[in-house]
Amino acid sequence: MSSNDASVDRLCAAWRAQPAPMLSLTPEQLAAQHAKLRVSLRRSLIVEYVACAFVLGWVALRWWYVPGGWLTKAQYVATIAAVLFVAHGLRKHLTGYGAPPAGADLLSFQRASLERLRRSFLAAWRWYLLPFAPTFVLAGIDRWFFQHHPLRSIEVDHLHILGGMAIAAAIAGAVALWHRIAARRLQRAIDYLDNFGGHRG
Amino acid sequence: MTDRPTVNDLYEQAAAGFGGALARLARAYEADPDQQRDLLQEIHFALWRSFATFNGNCSLRTWVYRVAHNTGASHAQRRQRLKLDKMTSIDELAALEVPDPDDPTRRAEHRDELARLMALVQRLRMPDRQLLLLYLEGLDAEQIGEICGLTGGAVATKIYRLKAALAKRFHKGGPL
């Protein structure tokens, strides 16, 4: 045996000789843990639903007190549709849809997890930001043609509208770009796994 | 007719047979002691839940290590998502410089061999980290291959490089 082998064997032996606390959960503890997991999942869904309900309530109130013209009503409808769409997307993502099986081999599991995360980053803007685009565009048109600020000239008001829309578009763009960068980083990790070599058929 | 073991039977068997390995594994995926305890519980819970889909296609040991490492990797992914690029592979490890043996601060920091090993493990990216951990647990190339989804030959090559990198850093009398 070479001295290198001896060093590594000594290391392995030291690793296995570490004091390791033995843990064995009782069926009651496991059931409690299961219940806890369900509660925490339900709670995170409830928080999202409450946020959606809050926005819907706010839209309903505005509709009631400021019904406005057809364009304003169209904005209310677009907002309600967007909130419902986002709520559906959140439910799909928070309930672990498409998660790889726990007993999969390590490479497949790792690849599937990274791919799932990468896809969700790439798709997030479609189900989180894009649904609000119609509301945003309708609000811009409404302000541009019908809802001028009483204390500003038309030209200055148009500049304000354009500025506001540019800021909102820049924020949405920055979020989408950040997601793309994260997805690219994940793709590099996936490429590393794909080039790892020696995959079983 | 034979009685199939229940989920609870399988879990008890796994906890009794691999409890130590699972605790070491949790330590290798999480440096913070409080989080380690939580991760260990999470691994045990994932294991118990997983037995509902265990169909005996692989050995209990393979299944336990797969579920445990997958749970650990998910935990690490959540904690280190932004550091994916900063992790090291086995091949890069061999090329890294060993710490300066004359640096007293470095010597003090890395006096404990196990602490150094743990730091190195936590620096490795997946699945290199998993390969090293399985090797340290004493599994052979074929067993590691079955757990990781790699051929025995590929694992043997990786282990060869791994041993060279470890020997370089942990050789008795070598740099600390």
Q: What is the mean pLDDT of residues A163-188?
A: 90
Q: What is the CA radius of gyration of chain A?
A: 27
pLDDT of residue B110: 44
- pTM for this predicted structure: 0.78
Q: Is the pLDDT of residue A73 over 70?
A: yes
pLDDT of residue B103: 58
Which residues are paired to B88 by β-bridges? B124
Q: Is the pLDDT of residue B147 over 90?
A: yes
Question: What are B47-77's pLDDT values in tens digits?
Answer: 998 998 888 888 999 999 999 999 999 888 8
Please provide the DSSP assignment of A83-149 as one string.
Answer: HHHHHHHHHHHHTTTTPPPTTS-HHHHHHHHHHHHHHHHHHHIIIIIGGGHHHHHHHHHHHHHT---
Residue A93 phi, psi (nearest 5): -80, -35
Q: Which residues does chain B have within 8 Å of residue A103's beta carbon, measured at their own beta carbons?
A: 50, 53-54, 63, 66-67, 70
Put simply, the chain B residues between 81 and 140 with a CB less than 8 A from any chain A CB are 81-82, 84-85, 89, 113-114, 117, 125-127, 130, 135-138
Question: Are the CB atoms for B166 and A6 separated by under 8 Å?
Answer: no
Which of A11, A16, A18, A192 has the most B C-beta neighbours within 10 Å, making it the best mutation to test the interface with B? A11
Any B CB within 8 A of A197 CB: yes
Q: Which ipTM value was assigned to this complex?
A: 0.80
Tokens read off for A105: 């081999």
